């Protein structure tokens, strides 16, 4: 449902948690290329994407009525369903940031509570298999392919997504947003799978990337026409308004501005996360990030996205080329000189030593030769450009088996979809993450 708020911005109202699925899943018999149930009346109204997405791709998981139910779900998770989406005055989250390294000792856990400060679950111990997935950029079809490759997603006979990964832990490294038409659908799919995974001893952790921060800042340069339309539908705009760009833009601002319903969901995502001996970040962790505190970074980013009073965008996380979300220090497929390589590897070694970790996993920079490791296996780069808006590469993920004993190193291998490339692919012009 949608009503007009201050300044003509749409206001998203609350709803029940169960409403997000029940009605829609019964009313949509047709399937899209993902195998997930599609809404029957959608493909006719979808405008052509201004980027390189597949022409005529059938509507899928969250489009149509499901998108409207998703809007009610997102609204119901806000602190007050009656507050305008553009308000920045939410209550301050309880609890304070801890010490420079996050304020808490490592927990043996499968999940953190979305209401607790993220610093309390920045460092995690688990005996479970971990699978890391790189940048997805609005491509639902490749997202489903990656999740199936990870062995955690199946599709029920009636077209519903089902977690089949047992106690597997999924870590998605950010950049769900931009360059593709199904951004919010992908976010909602991960949220559904997280709920199912936790019931079976698994979990799903999402990280924020630079494109998440761009959208919270109101920078929509990389949003496709389909992405704007999806925003209008999720905001609950009626069909006669959903096709108008100005209405789409206002809906996008309402959803993504700090304190808005999608921003509130992204506030539960991490800037940095460590599971066992593996550190995860979108761009990379530098020594000054460790000094600042990974838990502190997580809490400050979360507070800003929630629209907490007095919260500001965390510069160390997202405000410079060497910030966590924008760093490319460890992602070069070819260093200019061996001296440059040695410098990057030395910085990496210092960071891992201070964190008590053995390797780091990053996305952000498309790797033309697929998932790969450098610096003697201390850095894994897993953005393979799988989105049709980037390189349209076949899905790849990495599987991390926990250390066999105390002091041992996790075992990592690459899982490749059929047709995954071994030779370099040409990157689309201007696509650097």
d(CA 399, CA 127): 13
Is 364 catalytic? The answer is no
Write phi, then psi, for 35 (nearest 5 degrees).
Answer: 85, -10
d(CA 11, CA 86): 8
What is the number of alpha carbons within 13 Å of residue 414 lying toward its C-beta?
A: 22
Q: Indicate which residue of 211, 282, 289, 364 is catalytic.
A: 211
Angle between helices 225-234 and 245-256 (to 10 degrees): 70
SS (H, E, C) the chain: CEEECHHHCEEECCCCCHHHCHHHHHCCCCECCCCCECCCCCHHHCCCCCCCCCCCCCCCCCCCHHHHHHHHHHHHCCCCCCCCCCCCCECCCCCCCCCCCCCCCCEECCCCCCCCCHHHHCEEECCCCEEEECCCCCCHHHHHHHHHHCCCEEECCCCCEEECCCCCEEEECCCCCCCCCCHHHHHHHHHHHHHHHHHCCCEEEEECCHHHHHHHCCCCCCCCHHHHHHHHHHCCCCHHHHCCHHHHHHHHHHHHCCCCHHHHHHCCCECEEEECCEEEECCCCCHHHHHHCHHHHHHHHHHHHHCECCCCCCHHHHCCCCCCCCCCCCCCCCCCCHHHHHHHHHHHHHHHHHHCCCEEEECCCCCCCCCEEECCCCEEECCCCCCCCCCCCCCEEEEEECCCCCCCCCEEEEEECCCCCCCCCCCCCCCCC
- Tokens 């920078």 -> residue: 219
In this structure, are residues 185 and 139 in contact, taking their beta carbons and an 8 Å threshold?
Answer: no
Relative to beta strand 153-155, strand 130-133 is unpaired
The catalytic residues are 211
């Amino acid at each position: 449902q949608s009503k007009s708020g201050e300044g003509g911005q749409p206001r998203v109202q609350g709803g029940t948690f169960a409403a997000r699925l029940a009605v829609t899943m019964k009313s949509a018999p047709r399937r899209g290329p993902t195998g997930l149930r599609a809404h029957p009346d959608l493909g006719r109204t979808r405008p052509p994407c201004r980027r390189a997405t597949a022409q005529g791709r059938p509507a899928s998981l969250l489009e149509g009525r499901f998108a409207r139910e998703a809007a009610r779900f997102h609204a119901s998770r806000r602190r007050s369903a009656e507050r305008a989406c553009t308000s920045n005055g939410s209550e301050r989250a309880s609890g304070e940031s801890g010490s420079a390294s996050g304020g808490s000792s490592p927990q043996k856990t499968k999940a953190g509570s979305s209401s607790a400060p993220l610093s309390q679950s920045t460092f995690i111990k688990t005996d479970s298999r971990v699978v890391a997935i790189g940048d997805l950029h609005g491509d639902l079809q490749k997202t489903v392919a990656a999740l199936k490759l990870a062995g955690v997603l199946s599709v029920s006979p009636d077209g519903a997504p089902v977690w089949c990964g047992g106690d597997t832990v999924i870590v998605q490294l950010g950049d769900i947003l931009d360059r593709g038409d199904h951004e919010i659908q992908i976010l909602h799919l991960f949220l559904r799978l997280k709920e199912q995974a936790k019931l079976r001893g698994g979990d799903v952790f999402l990280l924020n990337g630079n494109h998440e921060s761009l959208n919270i800042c109101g920078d929509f340069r990389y949003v496709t026409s389909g992405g704007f339309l999806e925003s209008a539908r999720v905001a609950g705009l009626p069909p006669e308004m959903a096709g108008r760009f100005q209405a789409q833009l206002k809906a996008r601002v309402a959803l993504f501005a700090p304190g808005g319903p999608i921003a509130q969901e992204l506030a539960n995502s991490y800037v940095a996360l460590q599971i066992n001996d593996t550190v995860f970040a979108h761009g990379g962790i530098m020594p000054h990030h460790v000094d600042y505190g990974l838990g502190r970074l997580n809490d400050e980013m979360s507070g800003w996205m929630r629209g907490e009073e007095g919260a500001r965008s965390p510069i160390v996380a997202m405000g410079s080329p060497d910030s966590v979300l924008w760093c490319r220090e460890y992602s070069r497929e070819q260093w200019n000189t061996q001296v440059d390589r040695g410098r990057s590897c030395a910085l990496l070694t210092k960071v891992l030593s201070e964190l008590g970790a053995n390797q780091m996993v990053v996305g952000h920079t498309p790797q033309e030769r697929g998932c790969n490791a450098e610096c003697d296996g201390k850095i894994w780069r897993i953005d393979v450009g799988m989105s049709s808006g980037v390189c349209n590469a076949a899905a790849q993920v990495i599987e991390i088996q926990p250390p066999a004993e105390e002091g041992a190193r996790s075992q990592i291998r690459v899982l490749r979809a059929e047709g995954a490339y071994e030779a370099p692919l040409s990157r689309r012009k201007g696509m650097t993450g």
